[in-house]
């Protein structure tokens, strides 16, 4: 009780969300995070020390400088940037080909689980044979207990992360760990959106929403290369129907959740949904296709010289996603398998679900980027979901606001 009161008392000093790196109406942020050393070799036994993430800091600084210059441009300069965006190099926008190694082995799973999953992929066996893997979102634990368990080291980075957790603990009591299988950003966002749903979103109520797969496939034959959970579908009609079924499932589940008015019951129903592996991954296919739909619209608008958010320029300035076809082939088809969401794709996810994604970025504690919004100037009507990350790579869910507990 004393701890809860203390948290409530300090909540007033909580850092307010910033409007992104540049504090402007354009929405961009740096890709990747600096190298981290979670624990000192002499003091920690945390399992997360079994994998390391190595990124060149000079590339990060180059990225921020390049994006800053983009933000400073006037409209004519922005148009000129669009025409010349193909000249951007990998030092400005990272490609999944360079980062796929980082994603292939998730630092949030131990070595035994990683090796076991490799065997499953080779043998073609589903993870349903291993019930312990089916827990996609773990139960709540005290956020500071989690922090002390995971960050025991005495390195400067470990101390920095602990301070970040302390700041978050002034707002949230608990944390829910999300399974790190490269779907974590989509999983954490969708889980939060469904668990706090009070009504079916307008964009899911539109009659033409279920016709999107057919409309796009008639117009773009390359969409037939869409992979459902890394599998090819031989017939276009079958692919179209499967994607449509995924969208219908998303609509049905969202509607069911919104009709549960008692928060605790809705949370329990959401927990059950994310234990059903078949439905869960079909929901991800729906979200991925919604992301593709938004990407196509942004690309076409830009080609017609309509005003588009700056993140969409960067989305299509990468060597691996010059157009929606490449975005699908090299990014969305790989999502959940050899890669997770890159930073610029977090904006695309927010637009697809029409939710503002608020992220506590712990390694950015004490900077303007500690709390980042995707997009940083969102629509007021968009609901807000909150995530927490230690490295811009894996995302967990903070839970139970301190004010709720104190009441």
pLDDT computed for residue 235 by the predictor: 65
Q: What are phi and psi of 228, to 5 degrees?
A: -85, 105
Q: Of 31, 147, 394, 402, which residue is the catalytic one? A: 394
DSSP code string of 45-67: --GGGGS-----HHHHHHHHHHH
Q: What is the pTM of this model?
A: 0.71
The CA distance from 190 to 201, in Å, is: 13
Q: Of 184, 246, 270, 402, which residue is the catalytic one? A: 184
> In the annotation, is 181 catalytic?
yes
Residue 325's DSSP bridge partners are none
What strands, in cross-sheet order, belong to the sheet with 395-401?
141-142, 172-176, 395-401, 384-389, 356-361, 371-374
In the chain, which residues have pLDDT < 50?
A: 1-16, 18-110, 113-114, 116-132, 404-407
* ∠ Cα 159 181 213 (to 5°): 130
Instruction: Answer yes or no: are the C-beta atoms of 376 and 19 closer than 8 Å.
Output: yes
Give 170: exposed, middle or buried? Use CB within 10 Å, 0-12, 13-18, 19+. Answer: middle
> In the annotation, is 394 catalytic?
yes
Q: Of 31, 106, 181, 391, which residue is the catalytic one? A: 181
> In the annotation, is 331 catalytic?
no
pLDDT computed for residue 26 by the predictor: 39
pLDDT computed for residue 162 by the predictor: 97
Q: Which of 151, 114, 143, 107 is nearest to 130 (CA)?
A: 114
Instruction: Answer yes or no: are the C-beta atoms of 180 and 50 closer than 8 Å.
Output: no
User: Cβ of 1: how many Cβ atoms within 10 Å?
Assistant: 7
pLDDT computed for residue 130 by the predictor: 37
The CA distance from 391 to 172, in Å, is: 19
């Amino acid at each position: 009780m004393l701890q809860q009161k203390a948290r409530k008392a300090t909540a007033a000093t909580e850092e307010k969300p910033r409007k992104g790196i540049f504090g402007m109406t354009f929405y961009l942020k740096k890709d990747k995070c600096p190298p981290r050393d979670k624990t000192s070799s002499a003091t920690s036994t945390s399992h997360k020390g079994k994998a390391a993430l190595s990124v060149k800091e000079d590339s990060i600084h180059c990225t921020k400088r390049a994006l800053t210059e983009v933000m400073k441009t006037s409209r004519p300069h922005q148009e000129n940037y669009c025409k010349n965006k193909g000249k951007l190099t990998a030092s400005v926008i990272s490609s999944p080909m360079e980062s796929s190694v980082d994603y292939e082995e998730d630092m949030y799973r131990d070595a035994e689980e990683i090796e076991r999953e490799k065997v499953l992929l080779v043998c073609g066996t589903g993870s349903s044979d291993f019930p312990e893997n089916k827990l996609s979102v773990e139960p709540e634990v005290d956020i500071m207990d989690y922090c002390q368990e995971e960050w025991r080291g005495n390195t400067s980075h470990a101390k920095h992360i602990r301070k970040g957790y302390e700041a978050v603990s002034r707002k949230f009591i608990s944390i829910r760990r999300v399974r790190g299988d490269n779907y974590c950003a989509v999983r954490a966002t969708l889980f939060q959106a469904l668990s706090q749903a009070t009504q079916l979103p307008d964009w899911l109520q539109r009659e033409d929403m279920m016709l999107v797969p057919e409309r796009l496939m008639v117009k773009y034959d390359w969409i037939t290369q869409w992979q459902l959970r890394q599998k090819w579908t031989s017939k276009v009609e079958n692919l179209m129907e499967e994607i449509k079924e995924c969208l219908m499932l998303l609509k049905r589940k969202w509607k069911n959740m919104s009709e549960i008015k008692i928060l605790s019951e809705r949370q329990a129903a959401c927990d059950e949904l994310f234990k059903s592996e078949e439905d869960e991954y079909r929901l991800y296919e729906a979200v991925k296709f919604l992301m593709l739909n938004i990407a196509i619209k942004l690309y076409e608008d830009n080609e017609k010289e309509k005003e588009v958010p700056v993140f969409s320029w960067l989305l299509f300035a990468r060597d691996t996603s010059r157009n929606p076809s490449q975005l699908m082939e090299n990014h969305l088809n790989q999502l959940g398998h050899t890669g997770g969401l890159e930073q610029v794709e977090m904006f695309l996810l927010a637009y697809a679900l029409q939710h503002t994604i608020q992220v506590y970025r712990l390694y950015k504690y004490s900077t303007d980027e500690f709390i980042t919004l995707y997009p940083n100037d969102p629509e007021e009507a968009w609901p807000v979901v909150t995530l927490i990350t230690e490295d811009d790579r894996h995302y967990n869910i903070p839970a139970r606001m301190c004010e709720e507990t104190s009441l």
